[in-house]
Structure 1
Amino acid sequence: MKITLAFASLLAIVALSSAQEPAWCRCAAFVSSRHMEIMVLELPEVDVTSCQNTNQCRNRCVNEINTMTNEMDLWSTVDGDTVGQYFCHELFTHGLFWIHNSYIHGYYQMCGGPWEYTGVDSQQALCCTNNQHIHCVMK
């Protein structure tokens, strides 16, 4: 009886340890400054085959970020507003009324791990004043 119970326990442990949780990959864009990082765009999750395939997650996020933001061109128009205007509005909803010369960066997150940099940056710096996307003036 003890051998049967021990064998059943061993099978249960093996079954639990070999059960694989579904893999998932999140994609987002963040604005960076000296004092903060704030998510300005979260894109739909992309499909990945496993939680160990970080290249697949990164590559799919690069593709999704570039597709949804016209290659991170802040002055391109999507649905009547510039990509930068969308980011300015999102920052405004978080109480940030003024952003000056800040770049947007693409990130991915795999299966609950840390956010990782995709290598994608906005083509221009982002400048916002009171919820309005404006041209940056470099000093």
Structure 2
Amino acid sequence: MKVLLLVFALVAAVSAQTEPWCRCAAFVTYEFNEMMVYEAPQIIIDSCQDDAGQCRDACATELNTLSNNGDLWLMQENGVTVGQSICSSLADHHLNWIANHRVYGYFEVCGGPWEYAEFASQQLLCCDAGVHDHCIVRK
């Protein structure tokens, strides 16, 4: 009986680890690292092996919907621009000055590597003392 219970517990643990899930997030890319600036709610997918496309598409749709296709100047319902939300997130991590960085979307299937979700912001992101500002691109 104890062996049977142990087998059921083992099967339940393995099943819980293989349940399909997808993470979706927006990142600002630096030369040597990435900073996550937004994470969407977990996305339900059908399979960890076959659904990278499903995860990628759902992630891109989520990020495009939240930002009107990557518009950092979109005014959200809370009265704050998408860019200001990102600048505030970065300022919470003591990154108050950001100049000319694009925001990219990435997805992760069942704990695998982060992959590009075919999402990029329309504008470059600039934060001045934690405040979203227009970028001045020098040529």
What band does the TM-score fall into relative to the shorter chain? 0.7 to 0.9
State the match for 2:127 in structure 1: 128
State the match for 1:54 in structure 2: 52
* SS of 2:90 mapped into structure 1: helix
Deviation at 1:134, TM superposition (A): 0.2
When normalised by structure 2's length, the TM-score is 0.85
Kindly name which structure, 1 or 2, has the bigger radius of gyration based on alpha carbons: 1
**Amino acid in the other structure paired with 1:23:** P
Pick which of 94-103 and 19-28 moved more: 19-28
Structure 1 residues 34-65: Cα deviation after superposition (integer angstroms, max 9, x where no partner): 23210000000111000011101111111111
**Amino acid in the other structure paired with 2:135:** C
Alignment of 1:108-119 (within 5 A): 108-119=107-118
When normalised by structure 1's length, the TM-score is 0.85
Q: Which residue, out of 15, 39, 42, partners 1:42?
A: 39
How many residues matched? 126
Pick which of 63-72 and 98-107 moved more: 63-72
Alignment of 1:23-102 (within 5 A): 23-52=20-49, 53-78=51-76, 79-102=78-101
* Runs of 4+ with >2 A deviation: none
Gapped runs of 5+ residues in structure 2? none
Gapped runs of 5+ residues in structure 1? 1-7
Question: Which protein has the bigger strand share?
Answer: 1
Give the aligned CA root-mean-square deviation in angstroms.
1.7
Structure 1 residues 8-31: Cα deviation after superposition (integer angstroms, max 9, x where no partner): 9xxx6xx95xx6521000000000
